[in-house]
Structures are given as C-alpha cells and as structure tokens.
Structure 1
C-alpha cells in the first residue's frame, strides 16, 4: 500500500440518535498514511463521529468514503478488510478465551473454500505478541482486568490486519505505562507497517505527541484541524475546553504540551 491510502472523507455528514443530532453538516478529510487524533470535551461528538466513519452509525445525511469509495456501498466483509475498529465499550461472547477472541479478527479473510492458514495463525501470534497478551491466551476475556481486556481487544483489531485502524479511546482502563505502550504500538504500526490510524483520545499531550494530524471537536463540528503544532494553542484550549493554560514544548519531543494555570491556592509562595 502507498503512503496515502486509507484517507477518509466525510461530506455533509449528519449523525445522531433519534431526534438528537450530535454531528451536523460536517465536512472533513483525514489523511491516509498518518495518525489522526480526535480530541475535545465530553459530549462534543468524538465517539459519534468515529462510529459514523466506521459505519456503526448510519448517517441521517451525507457520505463517508475511504479512498473515494463510499463505505455504505461496500459489503460488510469488504469493509472489514479495509477498516479495523476498537469501539469504546466492546462486548465479548461469554466465556471466550483471549486467543479465540483474537482469532475472530481473521474472519474477514476467510472463504468457504479457504481453510484456516499459516498466515492466519501468524497474524494472531503477531497480534498477541505486540499487545503482550500471549501469556493470557487461554484465559476467559471476562476474567481479565480492565487493562488486560483492552489489550486483548486491540490484539483482535491488529489480527484483522487492515490498512485503516479506528480506535475509540484505546488507553481507557490502562495505567500510564500501558497507555504509552499502546500509543508506541500505534506509532510503530503507522511508521513501519503502513497503517493509517484514527483514534479518539482525552489526553491532549499524548494526542500532540503521537498524532500527525489533530481534529479538535466542539459541539459536533471541528473547532480546529491540522498539525498539532499549528492547532494546539492556549487560546484554543481555553475556548474549547474552558481551561486557562500555557502551551509549551514537550521537553522530550518538542511537541505541544498543555500546562493548566494553577489556581491561587495551588500557587507556591
């Protein structure tokens, strides 16, 4: 795949739940070959947008296309070969083991006359190894800790081996070390395995550090779109999140780092 594959384009997109419209008349292009982070305050439409891009939520109006092809004209299997998804609150069949869950990621690649292959086994083993879940393979998913369960679901998405990966809050339930492990993995998939990644994140510093492209949502529409260094300013953070802050270079990476202003009671004398 070339570096520009996996581009997603939304045009005139309207998404909601019944009469409650969350995203309205949205035009947005997310570049292929990049890591995009979608950020914003609670209830701003981040996860709704991701669900719409993944065809989990049918639009009331507008279109979503991957590399110019309308996702609503693709078969479910064809879409699953193009796009892998980690939803915000995935649900596993009761009693299913970690390995069995990850093997489900190979379903889009199966055919009636094509049995399970060495390539399928290799994809599963690679996904287990990359997410450090190989030692958990025989355990039921519903017996895992929150962080272990999250890594098992990420392994399923990796085993699906799609050029485009959508992740809805992939660091949820993870401690800091495993948050960074997951984000390092995302970065590696993009840099060395030609994956386009779109993920919803809450931490602005992590989004700026790991993303090439930032979409800042407010009230169901983008308030700003672009490279983190161009988008993430103190004025924007205060306007969108209501937090007075300074934005300084991250001492490790040079990427924007949001430092909230201390209240009077927390200032050192």
Structure 2
C-alpha cells in the first residue's frame, strides 16, 4: 500500500541512539529507527534479539539506558502518562486477565485514560466500548468471563480494550502467539481492517516472516539488539538477509495469493547409512 505524505506525518515513533538494558545486560544497543505513521510495521528477528524489549521501550514500559524515543518529534518520557495513554494503546505479549472479569468489564478499562476523578461514566465512554466490541466481533461475548474464552477470542477482547482507548497508534507484542493458524489469520485480518478502515498506525512483533510480509507495509529486522534492515517487505526480505539473520538457507518467492515475499527453507540433504 502506498502511503501519502500527510498519512506519514503523524504517529511517527522513532528511536534515537536507543539503548535498553535489563540490569547490566544490554538488549538493544544504539538503535536508530523511524517507524512511518499511517502504516502497519512488523518487527521480526530471531528469538532473544530484542523485539519485545524494543516494543517495551517504545511505549515507555522500559526506561532507556541511552538515547531517546520520540512520538511526532516529542520525547515520550517528557509526556504526562495520561497524555501518552491517549496517543498509543498496547497489547502485551501475555496479558494477565483479572479473575472472573467479564468481557465488557475488561474492555471498559480501556477508558481509564479518559476518566477524571469523580467524573461519571459518560455516553461517549459507552459508545467507545460498544465500537470496540463491534469492531472486534466480541459484542456477543460481553457477559462471558474472559478466562473462559478460547485463545483467539481472548486476543480479540484484549485488542478491543486497546481500541476502547481510542488511540491512533496501536502496538501489539506477538498477537498470534499460542494461536492456531485460523485464529492467527483472524487476528491479523482484524489488524489489517483496523488499519484500512480507521487509518490506525500499527506496530506489531511477529515471528512468521510470511505473515509479516503479507500484512505489513514496513518491515523492521533485528539481530542481536541492532537493526539489520528496515523498509518495504519486498525490498528487505531477501534470501541473503534471511540466512544472515536467521541462519536459514532459503529461497524467497512470491506468495501465490498476494505476491508478497514468501520464505521457503531449502530442503536438508539427508544422508543414510546402509547396513554392512
């Protein structure tokens, strides 16, 4: 999808010399990166390369050891927490569901950034909840307990919570983890619809390179906490890059359904020993 200049001028997240650490262990090191507004960005890379850590840094859940993160040019660490919560919504990798909470009650928590002390629940608040439930196809689940839903249903409910915040920037940390293929595609189709219909900027961490190439406008590839490549999937996802970053010899061919890059690992040469 080609983005207009106006679409990319807002909701631009950027890292400037960003360093992120856990204790004395550096995970992300000196990262310079700009994520386009009005686009779907997928962050990919090997296990333990810093993908989820980067996402935590981008939403201010992890303080930088070096550098800064900006949103439309403003340092996010200088923004009031409530202001930032109105700008970006987050679906963490493994969200913890409060015990016995219903779907509607959980989604209502997304309105917290818009609440004021002693202010009543408003028609606008309820309208935002209803819109989030409708967009995620979870309205009929509103009275069910979240911890009794299937994995795919729970992911949709958590996305509904993020949508109820009414942010234009949505960050998702491995939204397809632990889901079967059908539910993976359901969640990714939902993300694509939210972007196409509402113009939301989406940043998501994914493991599947084919899904990342199919659903993203912009691809960020990390290796050992550093930027290996960034740009349109058709330009970034090459056989040379996949082997260099993931250690997997492969061919990259057009997806027969979408024409987007599809990674096909090369067949392993099997050796057999014959009995003497």
The residue aligned with 1:137 is 142
**Structure 1 residues 89-123: Cα deviation after superposition (integer angstroms, max 9, x where no partner):** 11122221111000101111122464322222222
The residue aligned with 1:96 is 101
Alpha-carbon distance in 2 for matches of 1:250, 1:197:
23
Q: State whether structure 2 residue 220 is matched by structure 1 residue 215.
A: yes
Superposition pairs for residues 2-151 of structure 1, below 5 Å? 2-112=7-117, 114-151=119-156
TM-score, normalising length: structure 2: 0.92
* One of 161, 169, 173 as aligned partner of 2:166: 161
Which deviates more, 33-42 or 151-160?
Answer: 151-160
**Structure 1 residues 202-247: Cα deviation after superposition (integer angstroms, max 9, x where no partner):** 0100100111100000000110111100000001001111111100
Deviation at 1:150, TM superposition (A): 1.8
The residue aligned with 1:229 is 234
In structure 1, the gaps of 5 or more residues are: none
The residue aligned with 2:190 is 185
Contact 1:169 1:200 in 2 (8 A): yes
Q: State whether structure 2 residue 196 is matched by structure 1 residue 195.
A: no
Contact 1:5 1:33 in 2 (8 A): yes
Contact 1:3 1:194 in 2 (8 A): no
Q: Which runs of 4+ in 1 moved over 4 A?
A: none
Which deviates more, 164-173 or 113-122?
Answer: 113-122
RMSD: 1.6
Between structure 1 and structure 2, the one with the greater Rg is 2
TM-score, normalising length: structure 1: 0.94
Contact 1:39 1:204 in 2 (8 A): yes
Alpha-carbon distance in 2 for matches of 1:152, 1:191:
20
Alpha-carbon distance in 1 for matches of 2:176, 2:135:
15
Which deviates more, 177-186 or 207-216?
Answer: 177-186
Count how many residue pairs are aligned between Structure 1 and Structure 2.
Answer: 266
Q: What secondary structure sits across from 1:172 in the alignment?
A: coil
Deviation at 1:265, TM superposition (A): 4.3
Contact 1:150 1:172 in 2 (8 A): no
Alpha-carbon distance in 2 for matches of 1:132, 1:139:
14
